[in-house]
Amino acid sequence: MRIIDERFRGLNRVRRHQLIHAALGELFQETIHALSIQALSPEEADKASRDSA
Mean pLDDT (whole number) for 9-17: 97
- What domain range is 16 assigned to? 2-52
Taking the mean position of all CA atoms in its chain, how far away is CA 49?
16
Task: Specify the CATH number for the domain of residue 7.
Answer: 3.30.300.90
pTM for the full predicted model: 0.80
Q: What is the pLDDT of residues 18-44, one digit of tens each?
A: 999 999 888 877 888 788 999 999 999
pLDDT at 26: 85
Domain count for the chain, please give it.
1
pLDDT at 53 over 80: no
Contact present, 1 and 38 (Cβ < 8 Å): yes
Contact present, 10 and 44 (Cβ < 8 Å): no
